[in-house]
Amino acid sequence: AQKVTQAQTEISVVEKEDVTLDCVYETRDTTYYLFWYKQPPSGELVFLIRRNSFDEQNEISGRYSWNFQKSTSSFNFTITASQVVDSAVYFCALSETTSGTYKYIFGTGTRLKVLA
């Protein structure tokens, strides 16, 4: 069965600190996709990144970076030099491909508070 665990419910950091948000997933499928979304206080979820199970390369986009490790079933997200605008709830999600379920399973989210 699909499952996504975001063990960190809430994290508070001071501006300019680096912060890593953890995501651990479970799947029996060999082909799957992982996603990160950001939900700012305004409420609308914003897509950040998609990664498929065959691509374990880490990705960096500005201050954001993602570390995908199949060996530990983790897809962690790091924000470098955090800013107040990074304050939001971040969701990790998993979607299997070969099982044909066509659904996305979300973690419970991690609320990030960046203090000025």
Partner 1 sequence: KAGVTQTPRYLIKTRGQQVTLSCSPISGHRSVSWYQQTPGQGLQFLFEYFSETQRNKGNFPGRFSGRQFSNSRSEMNVSTLELGDSALYLCASSSWRRGVNNEQFFGPGTRLTVL
| Footprint on this chain of partner 1 (rule: CB under 8 A) | 31-33, 35, 37, 43-47, 50, 91, 95-97, 101-109
Smaller CB separation from partner 1, 7 or 14: 7
Secondary element (H or E) of residue 51: strand 46-52
Smaller CB separation from partner 1, 100 or 116: 100
The candidate with the shortest Cα–Cα distance to 107, out of 18, 44, 13, 37, is: 37
Cβ-Cβ contacts under 8 Å for 71 (sequence gap 6 or more): none
Give the shortest CB-48-to-partner 1 separation in angstroms: 9
Smaller CB separation from partner 1, 14 or 30: 30
CA distance 98 to 47: 23
Give the shortest CB-33-to-partner 1 separation in angstroms: 4
Smaller CB separation from partner 1, 18 or 101: 101
Give the shortest CB-27-to-partner 1 separation in angstroms: 12
Instruction: Show the beta-strand stretches assigned E in the chain.
Output: 3-5, 10-14, 19-21, 24-26, 32-39, 46-52, 59-61, 64-69, 74-79, 88-96, 104-106, 110-115
Give the shortest CB-39-to-partner 1 separation in angstroms: 9
